[in-house]
A = this chain, B = another copy of it.
Amino acid sequence: LRADDERLIRALHQNYDVDLCKIDMEALRDLSSNLRSWNWRACAIVRESELIALTPLPCRHFGMAVDLGTTKIAGFLIDLETGKTEAVKGVMNPQITYGEDVITRIHFALKSKRNANLLREVVLKAINQMAADLSADAGIQGEEIIEAVVVGNTVMHHLLLGLSVDPLARSPHVPAVQCALDLKVRESGISISPGGYVHLLPNIAGFVGADHVAMLLSTGIYKMKGKFLALDIGTNTEISLVNNGEMTCVSCASGPAFEGGHIKCGMRAASGAIEHLYFSDQKVEFFTIDGAKPAGICGSGILDAMAQLYLAGILDTDGRMIENHPNVHSYETRREFVLVSEDTQCGRPAITITQKDIRELQLAKAAISAGIQALLDQAGLSESDIDRVIVAGAFGSYLNISSAVTIGMLPNLPLDRFQQVGNAAGAGARSVLISLNERKKAEHIAGHIRYFELANLPEFGKLFLKAISLG
């Protein structure tokens, strides 16, 4: 044995039955000096026959799962030895400065190469800061993170990797990349162990991304007997129908209303947002996030308000607000319902739901409801055939299912058929971080799910119009 690389290969073969095919260039650069300065005792981290890092003892290695949302980024630091989550972080996606939704960001990116690079850089910076913060929290070095998994929608995925988003912007919204990717850390721009890898789950379509795959994966419904609906509700809502393993999905443009966008007193789910409310004796009872003074109303509160107004007869089935109610104020053509009056607000303005807000919500809920109906129609099923409805995502976890059913956004099924699963995309990302088998399953899902474009369905207009009305 004449060279250090051969000695290492031999030692791994003889002691651990590991056959190296490749040594990462970074690991190779310092191989000789490290082996000597560590007195020939080192931890060899091998990934699919490649030595990706050589570290001093004791052996420690971590992974980072990232749920890269349009609005928020969630990060999880996992000990790859134990599978334990060692730290969790959430930050806003800084791309939001350049556009609230994916369409605006695509158009920003398309204006110039510089813009596209900017979007890539800011999100990389946020992910790298997250890696640093997670490491600090867990008391480890960033270089001890040897693998990252990133899941996001297709636009987030493409912008992160610097892929062309041009075809995503136009119908039929073709992604550049559908396949799962394993990138060298150095190719990705993410700052963890330089010899490590970043794994990106496969996408399904232009508006159904790897986050939806991760969600389906973590729920396990792709391999279960039964009929399932699984929804990720947001500005864009992805819905899958899984019928005894046969998967079909669609994407609905549900708009920003559920994130408080285009709503007069709307706000994100932050401190002071009314997240739930109900009417009791004509009085509005509400709960705010952190129990703070009400500052506005977020998605789940808006949904409750609409359901309560409808149940109280203040909205008719067409969504029109009645006039003769003490809380309904009319100003010329505008009409609004006062949820929190000005005189209880210590000088801050009243919190109201306007007729225009109701219209926004109707469009949003109609998009989702029509999407579900289209999926059922294509499969020859009706609502009542569905065994379970899985609602994922941040908004999906906080919404009051019964309000969503009341306004006709979700199928009219017994409440025990609904399951709110929280950040299922993040859970899916964590599971593929620690398991190659889960990666294969994710590829199975992306490879077998059928996608169709709602806009191309001749009957979609009719479904959508029908879904506009409440109840």
Contact = CB atoms under 8 A, between A and B. Distances in A.
Interface of A: 2-6, 9, 23, 25, 28-33, 36, 161-164, 166-167, 174-179, 181, 183, 186-187, 203-206, 451
Contacts of A30: 164
- Number of this chain's copies in the assembly equals 2
Nearest to A178: B3
B4 A167 contact: yes
Contact of A179 (B6, B166, B177): B6
A289 B6 CA distance: 45
Nearest first, the 10 A-B pairs at minimum CB distance are: A3-B178, A32-B176, A3-B175, A32-B164, A33-B164, A25-B187, A5-B177, A32-B167, A4-B176, A2-B205
A204 B5 CA distance: 12
Contacts of A179: 3, 5-6, 9, 23
B33 A175 contact: no
Nearest to A175: B3
B205 A161 contact: no
Contact of A28 (B32, B176, B204): B176
A46 B186 CA distance: 22
A30 B161 CA distance: 11
Which of A2, A162, A177, A205 has most chain B Cβ within 10 Å? A2
Given A3-B205, A31-B164, A32-B163, 16 more contacts: A2-B174, A2-B178, A2-B204, A2-B206, A3-B176, A3-B177, A3-B178, A4-B174, A6-B178, A25-B161, A25-B187, A28-B163, A28-B181, A29-B161, A30-B164, A32-B166
A96 B10 CA distance: 36
9 contacts: A2-B205, A2-B451, A9-B179, A25-B161, A28-B181, A31-B177, A32-B166, A32-B176, A33-B164
Contacts of A5: 176-179
A125 B33 CA distance: 26
A31 B174 contact: no
A214 to B, nearest CB: 17
A6 B443 CA distance: 13
Nearest to A206: B2
Contacts of A23: 179
A44 to B, nearest CB: 15
Contacts of A9: 179
Nearest to A204: B2
A25 B31 CA distance: 27
A162 B4 CA distance: 15
B162 A29 contact: yes
A2 B179 CA distance: 11
Nearest to A116: B29
Contacts of A177: 3-5, 28, 31
Nearest to A34: B164
Contacts of A25: 161, 183, 187
Nearest to A154: B3
